Amino acid sequence: ISREQLMVVYIDDHIVVADKPPGVLCAPGIRRHPSIADVVYDAFGCESDRVDKMIVHRLDMDTSGIVVFARTQLALINLHKFFREREVTKTYEALVCGELTPETGEVNYPLQRDHCLPPFMRVSTPESEEDAARVVCDLQHAGYKKIMQKAPKPCKTQFKVISIGVFGDSPITRVALTPITGRTHQLRVHCASLGHPIIGDQSYGFLGEGAPNGGLEDSVINEIAPNRATLSLQRDIDALVRKEGTQLCLHAKQLFIPHPVTNKPMMFESSPPF
């Protein structure tokens, strides 16, 4: 991403709010791959002259949408506090496979690191926790063992259907997602656990690298989601995704947050690219 491609939603002396495109890192990776944070830093700078001191929160590389960066140390401290104490409300928009029912609801599955398919996440079940405990006992690498033995974390996502549409000839649903918690890959795993994976999700969608159904057994998901997107429907959508090069259809659409210095309530919004 270049300076010319950077879409700035808001800027003042303390914060920069940008609209991140899909396929771009939020922050510099381990190998210093280019990120939107680098572009924001090069364009506007910050008090500390360090790009890492601008980073408040992150979106997955394939997720598009609103991201806020700090330009001063005071802003960084207060923004971290707002996120930590859940004074921030985020709303995402997604396209999922099939017709999602009911029109509104809540997913309340805890998530854990998938011990069989690291580094991906999955819904935590009593069986998966027992399996993970056995795997952890056999691990020799101390750092990896520390990561894998972390306890499952409570996760909650609220959803509301916006509209029903089609992708090619396949039914799909446009849905608003509000994460009450903020866990790694939470929205992607929770949608998969509903039987309606997000379109373009190469990790938790059709034949993805992560566990199918977010880690739930077919028998369980068939019972709790009788209207789930069938595998044949997911296959047809996946074929069109690959043919057209469709990106992950998940977008951070709205961010409600107090200003880190004035404490004034602020709302930032951008339209999804799908």
Q: How far apart are CA 98 and CA 271, in angstroms?
A: 22
- The DSSP annotation for 164-221 comes to EEEETTEEEEEEEEEESS--TTHHHHHHHHTT-PBTT-TTTSTT-SS-GGGG--HHHH
Please state whether beta strands 170-179 and 121-123 pair in parallel, antiparallel, or not at all (unpaired).
unpaired
Beta bridge partners of 267: 256
Q: Is 152 helix (H, G, I), strand (E, B) or coil?
A: coil
Beta bridge partners of 160: 104, 176
At 188, list the tokens.
């992607």
State the catalytic residues. 60
Q: How far apart are CA 163 and CA 91, in angstroms?
A: 16
At 217, list the tokens.
């057994």
